[in-house]
């Protein structure tokens, strides 16, 4: 049985194409049903950055064509139109790829944690539709273990790796914790939303949203569990806030140094942290000259992100070693599937012969005491075990060297073992 991976990601396809290849839960369920015909195993990993089909069958060529057809049908594009954006790998290379994905090594930001949950969700969806068998079951369980190992044994995911997460972490450092702190958002766009989410995850208290469009401010405030105000109330809110996040699309300063200086008179020495993510800038650079005011603009934050990503890349070397080690283990396990049924059949045949010979000798053994009968049983079992020990070791060594199929076939032929129709490779888990 061969493992095949066909997919695409942000590295090969623009968002316009990735949108065409995205699966929602219902589409994925239908696709798994089509891909798992004639006992094939199948799982689909679909995120905003990638769509990948993992499948197992005895005929990898036909399976790959079936996956291409599935993706062509989903996207409405022809095979030739899709081909440049797709990659296809098999067996150990496919396992290594999934392990790197689960570890966050194939993500836009090295070490991002969300992908591990998405890998788990893909595995659970395949199990729910009963399209996983022993190989995909082992593959995805091992991938989840790789992701956990990488996050436990390396620091690849510890530093901020986006402007919004960098802003939140800097704010946390300034105040030595954000529990109960009041946040003022200037702007109600996506960047403000992401930064607010990062701040909320660190335990902030009240969130106030100020925007030129009161309707958008109220919509974001409702989603964040905060309150909305107009931009005309900014000075009063600055006097109350601990962190100000500015990300409007204004062409000039939304908040001047003079306005902040006026607000600071009400604060009585309490520090305030300003995060200006807007381009052009929303906050007057003069704010940073005021006492107890800490201002970071987009360039400051991007430097923090660059330093953090560089640190993640160093940790990524350790994470790559973990993924490679696990891929080697998966390869050894997959190769062993060719010899395990032969070993089991050989042992079963030997045990059957042992018992048949004991039954034939039953008359001569009838006078033996129970303890003597047990001794005969133990002796004959030991003889069988010793005779089979070396062939078993050699078969396993052959599997590790990729010669397992040849050795297994030779053993079946020499001992007349026949086919193992109900071997582990044929059953679903």
Active site residues: 48
Helices 298-336 and 91-102, packing angle to 10 deg: 140
SS3 201: coil
Q: Among 171, 247, 184, 188, which residue's Cα sits nearest to residue 223?
A: 188
Number of H helices, E strands in the chain: 17, 10
Cα–Cα distance, 124 to 27 (Å, whole number): 15
Q: Among 303, 181, 291, which residue's Cα sits nearest to residue 243?
A: 181
Residue 145's CB is within 10 A of a number of other CB atoms, namely 14
Cα–Cα distance, 74 to 250 (Å, whole number): 41
Contact 278, 246 (CB under 8 A): yes
Residue 418's CB is within 10 A of a number of other CB atoms, namely 10
Helices (H), 3-113: 15-20, 25-35, 60-75, 79-82, 91-102
């Amino acid at each position: 049985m061969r493992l095949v991976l066909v997919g695409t990601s942000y590295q090969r396809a623009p968002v316009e194409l990735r949108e065409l290849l995205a699966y929602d839960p219902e589409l994925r369920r239908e696709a798994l049903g089509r891909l798992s015909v004639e006992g094939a195993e199948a799982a689909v990993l679909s995120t905003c950055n990638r769509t990948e089909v993992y499948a197992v069958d005895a005929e990898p060529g036909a399976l790959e064509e079936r996956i291409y057809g599935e993706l062509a049908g989903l996207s409405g594009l022809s095979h030739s139109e899709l081909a440049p954006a797709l990659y296809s790998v098999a067996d150990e290379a496919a396992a290594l790829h999934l392990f790197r994905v689960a570890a966050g090594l194939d993500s836009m930001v090295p070490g991002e944690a969300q992908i591990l949950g998405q890998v788990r969700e893909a595995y659970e969806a395949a199990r729910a539709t009963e399209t996983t068998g022993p190989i995909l079951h082992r593959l995805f369980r091992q991938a989840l273990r790789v992701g956990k190992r990488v996050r436990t044994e390396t620091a690849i995911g510890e530093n901020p790796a986006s402007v919004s997460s960098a802003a939140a972490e800097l704010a946390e450092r300034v105040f030595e914790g954000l529990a109960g702190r009041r946040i003022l958002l200037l702007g109600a766009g996506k960047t403000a939303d992401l930064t607010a989410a990062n701040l909320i995850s660190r335990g902030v208290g009240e969130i106030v949203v100020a925007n030129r469009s009161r309707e958008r401010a109220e919509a974001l405030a409702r989603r964040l569990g905060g309150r909305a105000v107009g931009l005309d109330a900014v000075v009063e809110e600055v006097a109350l806030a601990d962190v100000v996040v500015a990300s409007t699309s204004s062409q000039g300063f939304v908040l001047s140094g003079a306005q902040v200086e006026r607000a600071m008179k009400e604060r009585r020495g309490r520090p305030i942290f300003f995060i200006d993510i807007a381009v052009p800038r929303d906050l007057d650079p003069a704010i940073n000259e005021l006492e107890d005011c800490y201002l970071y603009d987009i360039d400051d934050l991007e430097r923090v992100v660059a330093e953090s990503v560089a640190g993640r890349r160093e940790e990524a070397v350790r994470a790559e070693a973990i993924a490679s080690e696990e891929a080697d283990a998966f390869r050894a396990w997959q190769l062993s599937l060719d010899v395990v049924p032969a070993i089991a059949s050989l042992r079963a045949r030997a045990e059957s012969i042992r018992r048949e010979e004991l039954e034939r000798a039953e008359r001569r053994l009838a006078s033996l005491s129970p303890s003597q009968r047990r001794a005969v049983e133990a002796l004959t079992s030991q003889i069988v075990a010793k005779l089979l020990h070396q062939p078993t070791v050699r078969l396993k060594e052959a599997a590790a060297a990729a010669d397992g199929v040849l050795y297994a076939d030779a053993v079946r032929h020499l001992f007349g073992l026949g086919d193992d129709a109900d071997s582990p490779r044929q059953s679903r888990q």
